[in-house]
Each structure stands twice: as structure tokens, then as C-alpha cells.
Chains A and B, each alone.
Chain A
Amino acid sequence: MGSGLNRILAVAANTYRETVRERVLYNLVLFAVLMTVSGLLMKQLSIRQDERIIKDLGLAAMEMFGTLIAVFMGVGLVSKEIERRSLYPLLAKPLDRSEFILGRFAGLGFTLLVNVAVMTAGLYLTLAATHAVFDPNLLKAVYTMFLGLLLVVALALLFSALSSSMLAAVGTVILVVAGHFSDIIRNVKQVAPSTPDWLSQGFYYVLPNFRNFDLKSRVVHFDPVPGSDLGWITLYAAAYLAVVLGIALTVFRSRDLV
């Protein structure tokens, strides 16, 4: 009899294969073109300036491509399986619903890891071509960005386990956008004085704060990023992931697959 971990890995491996066969990783070609073009253009500028622009551009592109994949693949992770009924023969086998959810999360997470890793290598190559000094701090920004992407996948998965692909996409996009502007929500009282404190503060703390994962400007401007910051960000991501995945598991386990 197989263990739960083996079944989770089987689902994850198939999810990764699905993303590869659905040509999700083709976005790497776009990224490569972007990096090549920016590398060629930036040679015209001064040394430190071109390095900053390439880093900024590279990290922003990584985040954008990663978020698009996380949202649009993530929202179909469960709902598409139910809509197509491809899930039925799998759940008739010794596969628990929670194993399926965790496998889908791990599979798309691995796709994003491959995507981010290849893009990071591409970014370093571009920087090397412009004679920039190797900057290990860049990896810190990539790491926290990857944690943020995992959180986007978890949120998409939660919505996907609850509703149709379309509704899941709408819900996830709203949460991700709101999470990038959580400071505005916290200070909403300044533009709408009648908003109760408990409401703005409640939203601020409940919504995922994606700004926590954004170290782009710090590494681009060579500001130090202490290990303790990375520790806190990791802890925040782990706690949020545990809660979101926990809710997704609970919801999906009790759902009728009509």
C-alpha cells in the first residue's frame, strides 16, 4: 500500500507535467527576449545605472510572470478538475481529497520554482554580460518573491476548491491586488473619515500583505537585507500558507462533487 506522501508526490508530478505540456513555461522565452533587449539597450548607460535598471526590470518581470501563472493556473487546480470530471476516477482510487489538494499545490509550486530559478539564472547572465559584479542579495529578493507566489497559489487553490474557475479567478485577483495595496486599506480613514477603525484595521490584518514579500527596491538600491528580515517573512508566509491551505482542505473535504 502506498503512503500518503507518495500519492501527494504523484499528484504533484502530474501537475508539473500538465503545466509543461500546456506550455506554461513558454513565458521563459518572453523573459529571455526581455532580458536580452534590456541588456543590449542598457550598455549605453553608466555602469551602476544600467545594473539597477536591469535588476529592477528583471525582478518585476519575474514577479509579473509568476503571478500570472500562479493565478491563472491556480484557479483551475481543483475547479477545472471538477468541471471536466477528471477528478472522479482519481478519488475512486486510494487518494484522499487532502492529498489531492496538497499535491496540486506542490505541483504548481514546483512549476513556479523552476520558472523563477531559470529566470534568476537569466537575470544573472544578463548582469554578467553588462559586467556587473555578482550580487548574492538578489537571491534574497527572489526568495521572498517566491514565497509570495506560493501564497498566491494557495489563495487561488482555496477559491478553486470553493467555486468555479471564473469565480475563483475573480476572487483571487481581488485578493492579490488588495494585498499589494494593504497600506492604502489601513489608511483609508484619511480619505474616508467615517470608516470605522475596526473595519480598516481588520481588513489590513486579515488580507495577505504582499508588500512584505517585496524586497526589490532594497536589493536594487544595495540596501542591506538582514537574515532576521528573511526569517520573519518566512514565518509570515508559513503561517498564512498553513491557514489558507487548512481552510482549503476543510472546505474541499466536505464538498459534494456533483
Chain B
Amino acid sequence: MSTPAAAGPALETSGLSKSYPTGMLHRGRRSALEELTLSVPRGEVFGYLGPNGAGKTTTLKLLLGLLRADRGSARVLGVPHTDRAWRYRAGYLPENPYLYDYLTPQEYLDYAGRLFGMPASERQERSRQVLQRVGLLESARVPMRRFSKGMLQRAGLAQALLNDPELVFLDEPMSGLDPIGRHMIKEVILDLRSRGRTVFFSTHILSDAESLCDRVGLLRAGRLVTIGRLDEILRIDVSHLEVLVSGVDAGVLDRRPGLKGRRALGERWSLEVEEKSLGPVVMAVQQAGGRILSVQPVRESLEDYFVRQMGAQAGGRPWEAA
């Protein structure tokens, strides 16, 4: 298969919009995606984040031609998204994939390979490679109706990688997977990046995005709220210190300046302390006969940022969907 071309982004959209009819007579419209404009350079792992119903799957369906856009345009691998030519060079893993359960993974991959126009020998070889990559080689001849959810996800990933794609769309690839399955998918994504492939994956599991993505886009109620590199988006300053103490009555610490919060952990207390107030708080704990067990600086996580952004947009209802 081809190698990624150097020029031009892997994916770019301009004003992409989609609404769905509502009501029995389809007289109303509900906006699912509004004026989506973004660009994903080649070789990047891009995380497309948002709560359920934010428009992530709608975006993927628009790009893949499963839905027709109301307005706007998109280009994938240098050609208009409506042109089928790019599909030879891309892969797609849908959310909770249903792959014909009367087939074995080997048969399904052979079928998929025929749709790509691969000759029989190449279909056989590539099927073996991708099944090995996702850890399903030993189950290659088992009908998929006997598969667990995790095994189906692996089979879905195998078909998405069959044509050694330059660009891979993954829709919630980690959902429902056990830790080993999640680890395998992360390894596949990192391997794709190391080979210069582009990965566009949607997720609402923020820790996955934080550990894998070069850049993220945050979607809420069909609108792109933020897009950028993680180190640009997240506050790198320490937001507060987490001080773990024992042997002290936390009531003693109440109304202490710089103490932002506290929560009981059995016999111990976890205190949220402003960085500049660490000294006075430590002294107060010691004077009350307590012990300092640990002091951890806390930086903003993607989840903190996500909740902050979504909460600000929704007026305190961070998970409100479209």
C-alpha cells in the first residue's frame, strides 16, 4: 500500500454542518453539528472529545459519507470527502462494531480485502498480519458469534488496519474493553503514529486522550469549543497541593487561610492547599499533633479542563448534550 504523502493535511473541514429532522412530520430540525472547521496534519494523533451526544459520531459519519452535510465541505487525504479515492488509503473502526457474526475474522477480512481490490495472496498475508497485531490469530477461524465484546473490538480494529491505512478513524475505540484490550489499542495507535500514520479518534475517556494525543478538539452540543495541543490547552502551573495528614482533628484546620478543601480518607485527611499557604498549614497540623504523610503538587488534567470548559459553556451543566 502507499505511504503517506508529505504535503497537505490528512483531514480538513470547513463549516461542516448537519441537522436532523424532528417530530412526526419532520417539520423541526435539531442541530447535531455546527460550522465545524478543523485541520489535522498528517502523522498526528488527534483526539476528538466530547460528552455523549456532542456530535462526534455525526462528524465521523459525515466524513465517511454515511450522512449528507447540510452545509460545508471536507477534504480527506487531499481529495474531497465525497470522492471514494481516499477510502483505499483509510480505515474506520465504528463504535461497538457489529461484524457479521456468521463469519470468522479470516472470512470477514477476506471479504473486506476484496472490497479494496486486493489479490487473494495479499488478502491472506495482510489478514494474517493484522490478526496477529490485534491478538486474534488463534481465533482466526472461530465464528464471531462466539466472540466477547473485547474480541469483536479487536476484529473491528483488524479490518480497519487491513489496507495499511494512512489515516485511521476510530470511534470510541476503548469503550467496553478490559485493561489488556485498552493497552493493545493504545499500542496500535502509538505504532501508527511512529510510522507516520494519522489517527483521528473520538472518545469521552479523557485519560486515553491525554496519554495518546498530540492535539485534541473539544466538542459540545455540536460546536467545536477548543482545539489545540495539550500543553497549550492545559494549565501547566500547579493548581494546588494535595497534603495527606493523619492524627489530627481536621476541625482544627477549618477557616485556615489557603485551605481550599478537605476530605476524610479513613483515619487520614486529604487537604487541598494553595501552594503559597503550604508552610502555615504544615505548621498548624504539627502544632495540633498531626503528621504530614505526603505533599503532592496537582496540575490541571484534561478532565479538569474538560469539565471547566463544558461547565462554562453549559452554565454549570457540564454534561448537557445537544
In the bound complex, CA of A90 to CA of B92 (Å): 9
CB pair A91 B65 closer than 8 Å: yes
Q: Report B81-103 CB contacts with A as 1/0, cut-off 8 Å.
A: 00011011011111011111011
Counting CB contacts under 8 A, is B160 at the interface? yes
Interface membership of chain A positions 1-35, coded 1 if the CB is closer than 8 angstroms to chain B and 0 otherwise: 11100110010011001100110000000000000
Is the CB of B115 closer than 8 A to any CB of chain A?
yes
Cα–Cα, bound, A13→B61 (Å):
27
Q: Give the one of B64, B107, B114 with max A CB within 10 A.
A: B114
Q: Are A257 and B66 in contact (CB under 8 A)?
A: yes
The contact sample of 17 A-B pairs, CB cut-off 8 A, is A1-B117, A10-B114, A17-B102, A17-B103, A18-B102, A21-B102, A84-B98, A85-B96, A85-B97, A88-B61, A88-B64, A88-B94, A89-B156, A91-B65, A93-B112, A94-B84, A94-B87
Q: Which A residues touch B112, using CB under 8 A?
A: 89-90, 93
| Contact A10-B115, Cβ < 8 Å, known A89-B160, A257-B61 | yes
User: Does A256 interact with chain B (Cβ within 8 Å)?
Assistant: yes
A95: Cβ under 8 A from any B Cβ: yes
* B66 (CB) vs chain A CBs: closest residue: A257
With A2-B116, A6-B117, A94-B116 as contacts: A85 and B98 at CB distance below 8 Å: yes
Which of chain B's residues have a CB closer than 8 A to the CB of A121?
none
A174 at the interface (CB under 8 A from B): no
Partner of A7, one of B90, B115, B159: B115
Within 8 A of A (CB), among B61-85: 61, 64-68, 84-85
B133 to A: closest C-beta gap in Å: 17
Residues of A within 8 A of B85 (CB): 94
Interface size class of B (residues with CB under 8 A): 35 or more
Further 6 A-B residue pairs, CB within 8 A, beyond A14-B100, A95-B115: A10-B111, A10-B115, A18-B102, A92-B92, A93-B115, A96-B84
A190 on the B face (CB < 8 A)? no
Please, which residue of chain B has its CB at the minimum distance from the CB of A90? B115
Instruction: Tell whether A195 is near chain B: CB-to-CB under 8 Å.
Output: no
A148: min CB distance to chain B, Å: 28
Q: Which residue of chain A lies nearest to B94 when distances are taken between CB atoms in the complex?
A: A88
List, in ascending order, chain A residues with CB within 8 A of B87's CB: 92-94
Chain A 197-235: CB-based contact to B (< 8 A → 1; otherwise 0): 000000000000000000000000000000000000000
The reply to whether B99 and A93 form a contact with Cβ atoms under 8 Å apart is: no
Given B64, B67, B117, B156, which contacts A2 in the complex, CB threshold below 8 Å?
B117
Contacts of B103 in A (CB 8 A): 14, 17, 21
Q: Which residue of A lies closest to B163 (CB)?
A: A93
Closest partner residue, chain A, to B90 (CB atom): A92
B99 with A92: CB separation less than 8 A = no
**Interface membership of A254, Cβ < 8 A:** yes
A18 with B169: CB separation less than 8 A: no
| List of 9 A-B pairs having minimum Cβ-Cβ separation, nearest first | A2-B117, A92-B92, A10-B114, A21-B102, A257-B66, A93-B115, A94-B87, A84-B98, A88-B94
A84 to B98, CA, bound (A): 6
Q: Which residue of A lies closest to B18 (CB)?
A: A256
A258/B100 in contact, CB under 8 A: no
Known: A1-B88, A89-B94. A14 touches B66 (CB 8 A): no
Interface centre among B85, B87, B93, B117 (most CB of A within 10 A): B117
CA of A135 to CA of B288, assembled, Å: 109
Closest residue to A21 on the B side, CB-wise? B102
B115 touches A258 (CB 8 A): no
Q: In the bound complex, what is the Cα–Cα distance between A90 and B94 (angstroms)?
A: 11
For A86, list chain B residues within 8 Å (CB): 98-100
Query: Quick check: B66 and A94 within 8 Å, CB to CB?
Result: no
The CA-CA distance from A2 to B75 in the complex, in Å, is 23
What's the least CB distance linking A184 to chain B, in Å?
34
Chain A min CB distance to B58 (Å): 9
A94–B117 contact, CB under 8 A?
A: yes
